[in-house]
Amino acid sequence: MWESGIYDTTKKGDIMDDILKQLGLDKETLSGASNGASFDTDGKIIESRSPTDGALLGKVRCAGEKDFAKVMDTAQGIFEKWRMYPAPKRGEVIRLIGLELRKHKAALGKLVSLEMGKILAEGEGEVQEMIDMADFAVGLSRQLYGLTMQSERPKHRMYEQWHPLGVVGVISAFNFPVAVWGWNAFIAAICGDVVVWKPSSTTPLTAIAIHNIVDKVCSDNSWSGIFNLVIGSGSTVGKWLVEDERGKLISATGSCGMGHKIAEAAAKRLCPTILELGGNNAIIAMEDADMELLVRGILFGAVGTAGQRCTSTRRILCHKTIMPMLIDRLKSAYSQVRIGDPVVEGTLMGPLVTPDAVDQMMAALVKIKDQGGQIVYGGNKLTDGDFSKGNFVEPTIVLVDRPITMMQDEVFAPILYIVPISSVDDAIAIHNNVPQGLSSAIFTQNMRYAERFLSAMGSDCGIANVNIGTSGAEIGGAFGGQKETGGGREAGSDAWKAYMRRQTCTINFGDEFPLAQGIRFG
């Protein structure tokens, strides 16, 4: 539960009060477990602090083991009713949620910026992703199609249909504190599932605000409990969620290391997973690349969200003939990036999420230099003036003659490697030689280069783009990656099938009993 006296008297406290007012919430309606329930909890207290200046935004009491059990019991009970509610009517509930989110887009976007640190445009853009996902799910609620197949037996009809799975656990990361939940939750709901959400402990206030807005819509339509919330650490609440037999699917977003642990725990009870894990995304810049498009694509991909996206651009594999020009253009562009408070209009790059994230970036740069990397721009922690209390760093460009060991790992910070290449085959070989496989791009005007990159012998990533960057995926396409990125798919295309179970049905409407494969028995 929220504690009394959670706000300080600084400007941040005033902003938080204003946001809560705009959202129609107050301190008393907010809770670390579903639906504002006041449980006899044993959960610990966590603090949410602004990455901009360290100011206390709020304290939340995490869900205890009794809280978690009650939430799961509620979710299971609601599922048994919700699964029989017609899918188009389930879509109507999601449509109403989308309308409510539209009303609160500005306030929610500001809360995302305040708590996570991404700039206002990105905060509001993330809320818009939820809204778009709601619209997509509404249409999808009338398109949960099965197939009719031809039976080899006379007077038999054979078809497949899809049924809801049950309780779906969603574990989301700090960098997209609302959008990724929406990707999962809205599709799961129109499929007839109910959702239990464990958000990042770094961004609990955003999750609480979203939950209260969404659950009010559900409650007004007599469906409270479709969406459920449990806040706490991955080692406690996350572990309970992954191991609970009532959970029929776990969708988790986070690091590759976290994904390994979740996959192992879920596999012990044969529970399916959707894993959206780390990326180590590269752009191949060929000699004929449109330099204007290339620089813009790199800048947004590498600097946006301070390099804290799973789709952030980490590596530039640049043809050696244009490399000097590209470095000069990037240094000029980077020097114009305004770093600062993400809620201030005009800021292009906010802080890293925690002081630990800054320390990890600085430690990584030491290793990079030890391995021969040359920092040609940035590389410093910002500590003067307005930066003194926040988690601010300079976006950093590193030049390497050849791939180094550090390039095998994803550092969740704005570090960009530039590596020279001499051919498209050389570039693809370097591109694919990392453990991760999320997003990729090539900038070229050569049809053969582009098709080579998109072919089976090209990019090994789940996302492959031509003349656009690695970030900025649309919800209409299935999102996800290969290798250590996890192999899961969310959002568009036929990703809905992961949230349902397939059933093959055969009906004999004749008066004989023929067997398949021509078998005669008795």
Residue 28 pLDDT greater than 70, yes or no: no
**Residue 156, strand partner residues:** 508
Confidence of residue 70 (pLDDT cuts 50, 70, 90): very high
pLDDT tens, position by position, 151-170: 999 999 999 999 999 999 99
Note the pLDDT of residue 58: 85
- Domain 281-481 fold is Aldehyde Dehydrogenase; Chain A, domain 2 (3.40.309)
**Tokens representing 301?**
């991909």
Burial class (CB in 10 A: 0-12, 13-18, 19+), 378: buried
Residue 3 pLDDT greater than 60, yes or no: no
Say how far residue 425 (Cα) sits from the centre of its chain. 31
pLDDT > 70 in the chain, percent:
93
Cα gap 380→23, rounded to integer Å: 38
197, 172 Cβ separation under 8 angstroms: yes
114, 51 Cβ separation under 8 angstroms: no
What is the enclosing helix (H) or strand (E) of 335? helix 323-335
CATH of domain 11-139+159-277+488-501: 3.40.605.10
Q: What is the mean pLDDT of residues 105-112?
A: 95
Is 276 catalytic? The answer is yes
Note the pLDDT of residue 522: 76
Q: What is the mean pLDDT of residues 407-435?
A: 98
Note the pLDDT of residue 35: 45
Same fold, 11-139+159-277+488-501 and 281-481: no
Instruction: Using the structure block, give the residue that is written with the tokens 């230099």.
Output: 369
Note the pLDDT of residue 34: 55
Alpha helix (H) ranges present in 174-203?
179-190
SS3 129: helix
Structure-derived torsion over alpha carbons of residues 409, 414, 420, 426, reported in degrees to the nearest 10: 50
491, 184 Cβ separation under 8 angstroms: no
Confidence of residue 353 (pLDDT cuts 50, 70, 90): very high
Cα gap 203→177, rounded to integer Å: 7
Residue 43 pLDDT greater than 90, yes or no: no
What average pLDDT does the structure give for the chain? 93
What is the enclosing helix (H) or strand (E) of 452? helix 447-454
Sorted by where each begins, the domain ranges of the chain are 11-139+159-277+488-501, 281-481
Note the pLDDT of residue 17: 74
Q: What is the mean pLDDT of residues 116-134?
A: 97
Confidence of residue 444 (pLDDT cuts 50, 70, 90): very high
Active-site residue (options: 62, 218, 271, 310): 310
Residue from 191, 188, 263 nearest 228 by CA: 188
Residue 19 pLDDT greater than 90, yes or no: no
210 backbone φψ class: left, alpha, beta (φ>0; ψ -120 to 50): alpha
pLDDT tens, position by position, 223-239: 999 999 999 999 999 99
Note the pLDDT of residue 2: 30
145, 236 Cβ separation under 8 angstroms: no
> Which has the minimum average pLDDT: 20-24, 265-269, 410-414?
20-24
Note the pLDDT of residue 41: 56
333 backbone φψ class: left, alpha, beta (φ>0; ψ -120 to 50): alpha
319, 285 Cβ separation under 8 angstroms: yes
Cα gap 261→273, rounded to integer Å: 12
Q: What is the mean pLDDT of residues 367-394?
A: 97
Cα gap 346→340, rounded to integer Å: 9
Q: What is the mean pLDDT of residues 195-220?
A: 94
Strands 415-421 and 396-399 come out as: parallel
pLDDT tens, position by position, 128-153: 999 999 999 999 999 999 999 999 99
